[in-house]
Chains A and B, each alone.
Chain A
């Protein structure tokens, strides 16, 4: 972590970022510090390698996927703007405030949070979680004691359970329906990302 915090003026496009993501200035500064701390060679952007250097991610079953989520399709690098854009998904939802913002869809809305999660499942980004994709995620998340056949069974059943139109895959709408009861706003929010 950075020992001294950067001056707000040092951050490129500060205003736009705040406008776009809804972060407070303090948060942006904090995240910028973090960004620079991660960027060990001070190149001004992050590579996957930089993110892989975070120790905890190595023991997070979805760590690799999260890392990948920071990078656009086919790109190897991310700058601060897109870095913070990803993090904006995890800004807590303020009660009452979400309506008054001009834009219809703030980045931290339930929908956007769900979309973010969905794309972690949907690796080929065809808008559907196929059986294989489900299986892959399960393989990531389940301990080694569970055998492949069991995983396959679970994946199959999970798909069946959520699949409403019977195409053997979970679309985003079906995904959203299946987690309807969960408190996404709370579960996918980081308190310190005000």
Chain B
């Protein structure tokens, strides 16, 4: 950082207007911008660092990003320390709590998979409350014991209460660290939600414990009375429930406000952030749990807010939230590192630090094992041993605790990743070699889920039903716009959806030969037509490449294997996921459309349709075989057609080509819910829900051409750093959770060219269809005809009209008065509204345009 210099340092020829004579023309005002400039600078540095980290995937795959950031901070802090001779930039607790933490918590609350959260609420609460209590007491007491045993440096001067205070600070699992690390290592969703939920909810416990012990320390242990303990317990409930209540209140307000923002769409997102922040501050003000407040505000308002605000606002909210959270996380970790070099704030005591680490780990493990043992007696899905190990180890103390005590303890994340890997927590490590197993496994899960529902396993279901009724009857009506609410009406919704689906399937089955299907393109990017055009593109491409290359036939692996691989891809990507396997779709860095909802809707519609059909067939004896036959016929027709297509290029056996082609025709909405560690260089357009899977086929084609053939038919769109071939072709070898993303993100690279081409092509064809050929030069005519027309209208008294603006111009640019530029003025100043111009021009028609131009010329010259 440059030292602030005095004023009047430099001057420049362009003096600001109105500057007093004698005073410096340009002032160096570092002091005034210092604070915001530093903030911006740090964020910039951190963000740049993130880019750099992501550049080398090897590093980030070994070391979590948060650790890298801490290390970077250490380095920067060292530099600053060396230059300034004192530690300059600190992670101040007030800054942390007032500015950096709220975005992260809001983000996690807003994007919390709420169903999963409430499903596991019992476990989460247990761990959050009892676990935290146990941890803090045990750690504090053990440290005190250590001190009593004389193992600690005498410099540490503290009594039992101090150690308990310390224990309460250090024992809370910290949401920032948990999210940062768990997000990078993919663990199963139950585990994730439990640790994550715990980290959010134990805030209340920590805050209360801290306060209680703090007051005890201040009072001195001798004066603590029994009522004080009771007060402590009571204040726990007050703080936690109060915090939640504040959150609910603000969520209610927020939902209510967004109901009336129809006219001010542009500031809709602002309300979300402002009110959430207000919730945080309000809770903080009355010393309730602010983290809980924001979390609950986020969870509860989401439904109503999303229904109320416009789609664009929704996107804005999502992105802004992610941006804020991500950047504050980055800053936090970097500042952790920077602050660590400052020795004035903390003293290193080996025994204390080691003892703390040891005890934290130990008691966490003990606590987790005990609680899990109790919980497993009630839980449907028991937590197994590996989960427990991860949980106990995943209890990361990091930024929050650090900000409280300014003690560095956050590097533990470094070790969790190898550990998780080693323990194979990833469920993707299961072998799934056969289609049968894959399929049946899914079937079993669905069956089990269904039976669970029949048995009615949810203990809280009664309440949830009650809540949903209440919500539907009162809350939604109060908080949602009429239009949004009407949309929520299920039957209508389903009807609409069914309509759309029927339309799509109609196009799917028969309409794709007709150019009519292209007509739907501009209004709605119809999935089918797009796939259609890109399929042809793809075929053409692969055909030409394959023709040149004879090695196509020599496959390294048998085609059967390949087909298997493709089938696995398709299956993996599109099998409905049973309830239990929904991935926790929370990720701080990626925005995910909710797959679950989509899937639920799909299945629901299908089921309803089927029910309707059986109902119909029993009633009217209409056999559904008819429709089935039609379907089959269509299918056959298609197959024939595609086979015919496929035989053109290289005479490959039709069957495999058919398969490829159909694989190519698959369209999926991007499921970016899986955080991918391996796609650092792929840029995803998360907003575009539809992506075309060409990768699967591409991989096949690529595989078929043996390695050398790449030179023969270079395909520049294949991205070099891609998963190993085994991973690419055998989904169970790669991370299964990543699969969908891996496909889609790779394809985004491939698709756009095809898509754009297809798009343009269809647009142009559409234009030619939509407008008669005579109207072709429309836009051209518009530009020229506009001013011309206007001039023609002004003809009666052109002088006044053209002269009118000139005095103004002259005042600003006096030297241009007599120049030919003057003649151009009328054109630069449209005197008519643009749409009027357009209408006029179209009314004038293409035939007139030439005449108009000619007419225009003389007028201009006459003016000049």
Contact = CB atoms under 8 A, between A and B. Distances in A.
Interface of A: 1, 31, 34, 37-38, 51-52, 54-64, 66, 70, 87, 90, 116-117, 120-121, 137-138, 140-150, 152-154, 157-158, 161-162, 175, 178-179, 181-182, 184, 187-193
A142 B501 CA distance: 16
Nearest to B445: A187
A150 B444 contact: no
Chain B, interface residues (CB within 8 Å), range: 35 or more
Nearest to B668: A145
B450 A60 contact: yes
Contacts of A64: 607, 610-611
Contacts of B451: 66, 87, 90, 190
Interface stretch (B257-265, B355-363, B598-606, B711-719): B598-606
Given A154-B567, A192-B455, A58 B604 contact: yes
B576 interface: yes
A145 B575 contact: no
A94 to B, nearest CB: 15
B567 A157 contact: yes
B28 to A, nearest CB: 61
A76 to B, nearest CB: 11
A58 B490 CA distance: 13
A161 B436 contact: yes
A57 B446 contact: no
Given A60-B446, A157-B564, A179-B440, A190 B456 contact: no
- The dominant DSSP class at the B interface is helix
A50 B667 CA distance: 37
Contacts of B450: 56-57, 60, 62-63, 66
The 6 closest A-B pairs by CB, nearest first: A178-B436, A56-B453, A66-B450, A143-B574, A59-B600, A148-B635
B567 A141 contact: no
B62 interface: no
B584 to A, nearest CB: 19
A57 B608 CA distance: 11
Interface in B448-484: 448-457, 461-462
B603 A1 contact: no
B448 A90 contact: yes
Given A54-B453, A154-B567, A59 B448 contact: no
A141 B455 CA distance: 22
B550 interface: no
Interface of B: 379-382, 434-437, 439-457, 461-462, 501, 508, 563-564, 567, 570-571, 573-576, 579, 599-600, 602-604, 606-608, 610-611, 631, 634-635, 638-639, 642, 658-659, 662-663, 665-668
A190 B380 contact: yes
Contact of B461 (A1, A148, A157, A181): A1
Contacts of B457: 190, 192
Given A1-B462, A182-B437, 6 more contacts: A59-B600, A70-B454, A141-B576, A148-B631, A190-B380, A190-B457
Contacts of A162: 434, 436
A153 B567 contact: yes
Contact of A142 (B440, B574, B642, B667): B574
A116 B447 CA distance: 10
A154 B566 CA distance: 10
Contacts of B443: 62, 117, 120-121, 137, 141
B447 A150 contact: no
Contacts of B608: 58
Contacts of A152: 635
A148 B636 CA distance: 10
Contacts of B570: 146, 150, 154
Contacts of A182: 437, 440-441, 444
Contacts of A142: 571, 574-576
A148 B639 CA distance: 10
Nearest to A62: B446
Contacts of B567: 150, 153-154, 157
A48 B805 CA distance: 81
B571 A190 contact: no
Nearest to B564: A157
Contacts of B600: 59
Contacts of B642: 149
A191 B376 CA distance: 10
A60 B452 CA distance: 11
A4 B381 CA distance: 27
Contacts of A178: 434, 436-437, 440
Contacts of B436: 158, 161-162, 178-179
A60 B610 CA distance: 13
Contact of B455 (A137, A184, A190): A190
Contacts of B603: 58-61, 63
Nearest to B442: A141
B711 to A, nearest CB: 32
A62 B436 CA distance: 17
B664 to A, nearest CB: 10
Contacts of B446: 60-62, 141
A191 B379 contact: yes
A154 B571 CA distance: 8
Given A61-B576, A141-B439, A144-B501, A149 B379 contact: no
Contacts of A187: 441, 444-445, 448
Contacts of A37: 456
Given A145-B667, A152-B635, A193-B455, A59 B447 contact: no
Among A54, A56, A143, chain B packs the most CB atoms within 10 A around the CB of A143
Contacts of B435: 154, 157-158, 161
Contact of B574 (A51, A146, A192, A193): A146
A64 to B, nearest CB: 6
Nearest to A137: B443
Contacts of A149: 635, 638-639, 642, 658-659, 662
Contact of A192 (B380, B462, B508, B571): B380
19 contacts: A31-B455, A58-B603, A58-B608, A59-B600, A61-B576, A87-B455, A141-B446, A142-B571, A143-B602, A146-B574, A147-B508, A147-B666, A149-B658, A150-B659, A157-B435, A158-B435, A162-B436, A182-B440, A188-B448
A145 B690 CA distance: 11
A87 B454 contact: yes
Contacts of B667: 145
A188 B444 contact: yes
A181 to B, nearest CB: 7
A62 B603 CA distance: 9
A1 B456 contact: yes
Contacts of A145: 573-574, 666-668
